Chain A
Amino acid sequence: MSATTVIEQSPPTERPEKNYLNADHTLRSWIWTVDHKRIAVLYLISVTFMFFLGSIAAAVVRFELTSPWGQMLTSETYNKMFTAHGVIMVFFFIIPAIPAVLGNFLLPIMLGARDLAFPRINLLSWYLYVAGAALVLASLALGGIDAGWTFYTPLSSLYSNTQITLALVGIFLAGFSSILTGVNFIATTHKMRAPGLTWFKMPLFVWAHYATAIIMILGTPVVAMTLVLVIFERAFKFGIFSPELGGDPVLFQHLFWFYSHPAVYIMILPGMGVISELISCFSRRRVFGYEFVAFSSIAIAVIGFVVWGHHMFLSSQSVLQGILFSLLTFLVAIPSAIKIFNWTMTMYKGSVWFSTPMIYALGFMGLFVIGGLTGLHLGSLATDVHLTGTYFIVAHFHFVMVGGAIMAFLGGLHFWWPKMFGKMYSEFWGRLSAMVIFLGFNFTFFPQFMVGYLGMPRRYHFYYFAPEWQIYHILSSAGATILGIGFLMPAFYLTASLIKGPKASSNPWGAKGLEWEQTTSPPPTENFHHKPIVMDDPYDYDAIADNDDFRAHWGKEPVKYGGDN
């Protein structure tokens, strides 16, 4: 195994090759590119920019909450700030982050294809994303939006006189962009696989993205239509969601959550795909129970569509509905737990490398478990009555979204960074950033569980009725500062690596997979110098031979847990 690896690795690295980055240097060649790798880079720049803007809004929110009296902002401005944070982070950062950056870059390479099935539609989806982002930013610049990222009617349709129509059009475009990405991923996975790459030889990253694409196709259009109807209601006085006009506001909530709950899995499933790759690579073991992990992605996508009512236990839905949705919500915990257990079993008796991506992956596992289990508190009817609408729920979804999805995004970005840009970043700063983010994250959001349990409502900018909660908010805001520093660190050292980082070999981690074993870092425009044929099972790690790679790369013995292999 190691012999073949060496033969395949060495020639590409020695050749001064042409790759997708240096193929053409004009601005035109970037903004009209149909190369999925370049589009992934465009997405990376765009989502990072949006993440930066969303973080500023979060910082303002956290700063405001350090005082119980709401001294800095008016209520209106505070509403606009948390809405800006939610809208930007949900629709313009976390939904596209992993699929549109890592998925776009890796899906065709992992399948052994030269590009996605529809490269021009891929470019169109980036332009739609940019247009949507521009409209939302314009709506913020023209006075902001105050309905929260959920846009509940009739506030969003009749009462709010902020720039909601503009923002909704922007979100609609972003949704269309996500649908086109989904169409592309599904067609590519079905039809563009390399010879020999059967469904059960696909990397779990591809399975996770396939499941994500299913949700994008089936869920996003529903919210798109719902938002169109809200726009009509604002623009004309269509009466579908407003009781004053004959409609039903709870219907809006049903339709909104029919998409927006599965959208939670659009955010987390690709992250789970990333984690499967990272855990397997850095434990030097085949993923435990590959089929179970693969099917659990599909199961999450399917069950995720029938749990939306748990967002509405306190709306007018019937008790029977509440009980059924609660039961179904518990079901979705099963495939999620299968993944966590299987990753743990993958690490068991593996030789674990504590490299930067692995530290991010371990952070993901810890935080996702907490985020997922607190989700069960919110999914059971009785406890939800106490916890809903409090900071408990804010903490819960930040554990899943930030602690889960963003940790996975950063882990994946660090893992594939050498592949994407052909440069190694500083391992010291990488590990430090992973630990600072983990620490800062827990400082920020763990106090929110406590203050939420005590009763601090979400979306309030004062709590003068209970000033003793200030300590939790100050802890949280201090943690947010650490978290912010943690997020800034990769921005600096990853950028620095582009300029003066050492050149990456084609497979710096000794990882398995077409993207590592069959192409250079960075890959050429057509992805492969020769058409790959897949013979091996995925994750065909050989601990003993790979430990030689480890010694060569790190100059020391790998850490081994749980006895001999």
Chain B
Amino acid sequence: MAAHATTHPTNPDESEVYFQYEDIDQQQETYIVGMWTFIVQEIMFFGPLFLIYTLFRWKFQGGFYTYSQKLDYVLGGVNTMVLLFSSFTMALAVHYAQKKQTKEQLRCLGITLACGFGFLIIKAFEYADKFTHSLFPNNSFIWPPHGYEYLGGNPEHARLFFSLYFATTGLHGLHVVVGMICIASLMILTVRKAPTITDYVPTEIVGLYWHFVDLVWIFLYPLYYLIPK
């Protein structure tokens, strides 16, 4: 934590130290340890999805290419850009929080939040397209989709692929929503100048979470959208 010592608030009394901590340093370090521990747990949470993906792609290599043809890699690519940009603004927000430039910090958080919204809207268009083609794995699931009989592939394996796709992107989307709620709360508390939010660490831990959510997408996009033939 030595790196953080240089950006320590010049007046420690500004920050409220909760009763269980000795001082602000202990509080900040504990927050960061707690957030990293939570991220470890998140990695393990997404772990089974990537494991299942690996197993079945290894088994049905050709099929997975066929099914991924029905995913829109352009919209997915735009979403990747949106999330990468939001990570950049999030990192900037942490930077400004450390420098106590609250106005810039809020602006960056606002852009991050907007990117989150944009991501979800694009995702909603993608999902709607899958539903209209009966590619959501429920009772009305059809493979090959109407008008695409030449695609080939096995209906059961297609259901498996789209189950994984919807489970992974759906739960990732849920994490985006949670991240947006965290960013919005952080912004409200910052605007209200809440005493618990005067240093940069809350921004940093929200940032850690947001970067994690981005990182999941960075793996997810090539695995589902960019399968080579």
Contact = CB atoms under 8 A, between A and B. Distances in A.
B156 to A, nearest CB: 3
A239 B29 CA distance: 43
A465 to B, nearest CB: 39
B157 A246 contact: yes
B45 A224 contact: yes
Interface stretch (A111-119, A328-336, A415-423, A429-437): A111-119
B41 A179 contact: yes
Given A187-B37, A225-B49, A237 B42 contact: no
Given A113-B20, A225-B48, A232 B33 contact: no
A108 B21 CA distance: 12
B26 A221 contact: no
A412 to B, nearest CB: 24
B127 interface: no
A248 to B, nearest CB: 8
A187 B33 contact: yes
B20 A222 contact: no
A247 B60 CA distance: 12
Contact of A251 (B18, B41, B45, B55): B55
Contacts of A531: 22
Nearest to B1: A191
B41 A183 contact: yes
Give the interface centre of B30, B40, B44, B158 by most chain A CB atoms within 10 Å. B44
B44 A239 contact: no
A221 B44 contact: yes
B163 interface: yes
A118 B49 CA distance: 30
A239 B137 contact: yes
A236 B136 CA distance: 9
B52 A251 contact: yes
B206 interface: no
B141 interface: yes
A218 interface: yes
A190 interface: yes
A247 B47 CA distance: 18
A126 to B, nearest CB: 17
Interface stretch (B83-91, B93-101, B164-172): B164-172
Interface in B147-179: 154-160, 163-164, 166-167, 171
B12 interface: no
Nearest to B28: A191
B49 A238 contact: no
Given A117-B20, A187-B33, A247-B160, A238 B167 contact: yes
Given A183-B34, A221-B44, A239-B137, A246 B49 contact: no
Interface in A343-388: none
Contact of A183 (B29, B37, B51, B136): B37
Interface string A215-232: 001111110111011001
Interface in A165-197: 179, 182-184, 186-188, 190-192
Contacts of A118: 34
Interface string A89-128: 0000000000000000000100001111111000000000
A246 B48 contact: no
B170 to A, nearest CB: 9
B125 interface: no
B19 interface: yes
A184 B37 CA distance: 9
Give the interface centre of A182, A219, A225, A248 by most chain B CB atoms within 10 Å. A225
B139 interface: yes
Contacts of B26: 191-192
Given A225-B46, A239-B163, A246-B159, A191 B136 contact: no
B137 A238 contact: yes
Given A183-B38, A224-B45, A240 B164 contact: yes
Contact of B141 (A182, A192, A237): A237
In the A-B complex, list the 4 residue pairs whose CB atoms are closest, starting with the nearest: A246-B156, A221-B45, A238-B163, A115-B20
26 contacts: A113-B20, A114-B20, A115-B19, A182-B41, A183-B38, A186-B33, A188-B30, A190-B30, A192-B20, A217-B40, A217-B44, A219-B44, A220-B41, A221-B41, A222-B48, A232-B167, A237-B137, A238-B166, A238-B167, A240-B163, A245-B160, A246-B155, A248-B55, A255-B48, A526-B19, A531-B22
Interface of A: 108, 113-119, 179, 182-184, 186-188, 190-192, 217-222, 224-226, 228-229, 232-233, 236-240, 245-248, 251, 255, 526, 531
Given A220-B41, A239-B137, 9 more contacts: A117-B20, A117-B33, A179-B41, A187-B30, A217-B41, A222-B44, A224-B45, A247-B160, A247-B163
